[in-house]
Chain A
Amino acid sequence: MKTLLGISAVALVSVLLSSSFSVSAEPIPADKIATLREAPLNVEPTPPAMQKVINSDVKEVRNYPMQPPVIPHKIDGYQVNLKVNKCMSCHDRSRTGDSQAPMVSVTHYMDRENNFLATLSPRRYFCTQCHVPQLDAKLLVPNDFVDMDTLIKADINKEAKH
């Protein structure tokens, strides 16, 4: 009985949450939800044209302070494996003088106990786990992310009205 109550409470809360946060943006058409392939399984469709990677070298604003910054340039053929890390040939502390690239943040030199290391922490070695270049592509799924500054501003405005 108790578990049943618990489950229904959770269900109720989630229904409430989803209705209050429901997105108003235009959804994907129903016939495209199952697949974006748009061809029968036994047919090899012509792939869409490849999108160009943004190569402007202009920093993109982060959506929240902890966001790993996105890469503002091409990384085609950049080798990152056990032998070499091409990214670090510019972004390493000792390389930033020549390259004028931003240094990887200090967290990249810390292990998980927050001890500082002399070199890049192994858990931060593979850059593209967190950092990726961007395409100038049309969004497939609408994104209704709201920046927290906007939320705070909206809140202040609301309070001012009352």
Chain B
Amino acid sequence: MIAKLLATLKKVWVVLRKPSVHYSLGFLTLGGFIAGVIFWGGFNTALSVSNTEAFCISCHEMENNVYQEMQSTIHFTNRSGVRATCPDCHVPHNWTDKIARKMQASKEVWGKVFGTINTPEKFEAKRRELAEHEWARLKANDSLECRNCHNFDYMDFTRQSPRAAAMHSTSLASGEKTCIDCHKGIAHHLPDMQGVEGW
């Protein structure tokens, strides 16, 4: 058993040691390196291209529904001129989470291409389910994407409206609630909220 394994290993080693007939070792190493860079770069470029708002709304269901709705909200235009784009709220910064979310989004693209959500009506019908995915995600990560821009530690309650300050200094400060518990529908129209906690 062990002898057989050793024999195979030896064969492999011999093949690996044999100089390349056509290309030099230097070429192969360098080539491999460059190919690696191109592949990795290409992957990440594709990733970052698909991480722009222009990409998100290049598909009509997004442009006609959620993007339109967002334009009248504070995250589209405001006095400070800071804009939140789709990936700011919907794509995690952390690499593994990012890939995971992309795979999930691909499912939604699949839904688009193969007709599950290719009309506004079908989108409306699916909206509660899609929204629930986002609520669950934000609830699970303590509204990380909101906090990337809104840092609780730097919130000045004295500059907030009394209502906001009252809520933020109690339920939020104690960790009992997170942003998405109270700020659902911050960027889009809400679906039918029957049965959602707090509605």
Q: Does A35 reach chain B (CB closer than 8 Å)? A: no
Q: Given A83-B193, A84-B185: A77 and B72 within 8 A (CB)?
A: yes
Interface size class of B (residues with CB under 8 A): 10 to 19
Given A76-B74, A84-B199, A86-B185: A57 in contact with B190 (beta carbons within 8 A): no
Q: Can you sample 7 A-B contacts with CB below 8 Å?
A: A57-B163, A73-B163, A77-B74, A79-B190, A86-B185, A98-B171, A100-B166
Give Cα distance in the complex from A86 to B199, angstroms: 8
B189 near A56 with CB under 8 A, answer no
Given contacts A83-B191, A83-B192, A98-B171, 17 further A-B contacts (CB under 8 A): A55-B161, A56-B162, A57-B163, A74-B161, A77-B72, A79-B185, A79-B189, A83-B189, A83-B190, A83-B193, A84-B190, A84-B199, A88-B199, A89-B198, A89-B199, A95-B198, A100-B166
Within 8 A of A (CB), among B148-199: 161-163, 166, 171, 185, 189-193, 198-199
B161, A84: Cβ atoms under 8 Å? no
**Residue of B whose beta carbon sits closest to that of A81:** B189
- A residues near B (Cβ < 8 Å) are 55-57, 73-74, 76-77, 79, 83-84, 86, 88-89, 95, 98, 100
- State the 7 A-B residue pairs at the shortest beta-carbon distance, nearest first: A57-B162, A83-B192, A84-B193, A84-B190, A55-B161, A57-B163, A89-B199
Find the B residue at minimum CB distance from A100: B166
Complex CA distance for A100 and B72, rounded to whole angstroms: 28
Q: Which of A56, A74, A84 contacts B192 (CB 8 A)?
A: A84
Chain A positions within 8 Å of B73 at CB level: 77
Specify the main secondary structure of chain B where it touches its partner: loop
Q: Which residues of chain A are within 8 angstroms of B74 by Cβ–Cβ distance? A: 76-77
Q: Which residues of A contact B191 (CB under 8 A)?
A: 83-84
Candidate in A56, A73, A74, A83 with the most chain B CB atoms within 10 angstroms: A83
Cβ of A73: which chain B residues have Cβ within 8 Å of it? 161, 163
Determine the distance from Cα of A76 to Cα of B161 in the docked complex, in whole angstroms: 14
Interface residues in B109-148 by Cβ distance below 8 A to A read none
Residues of chain B lying within 8 A (CB to CB) of residue A79: 185, 189-190
Q: Beyond A79-B185, A84-B190, is A98–B198 a contact (Cβ under 8 Å)?
A: yes
The 0/1 profile, CB within 8 Å of A marked 1, for residues 46-72 of chain B is 000000000000000000000000001
| Residues on B with beta carbons closer than 8 Å to the beta carbon of A57 | 161-163
Q: Give the complex CA separation of A57 and B185 in angstroms.
A: 22
Within 8 A of A (CB), among B59-91: 72-74
With the chains together, A74 CA to B74 CA distance in Å?
A: 13
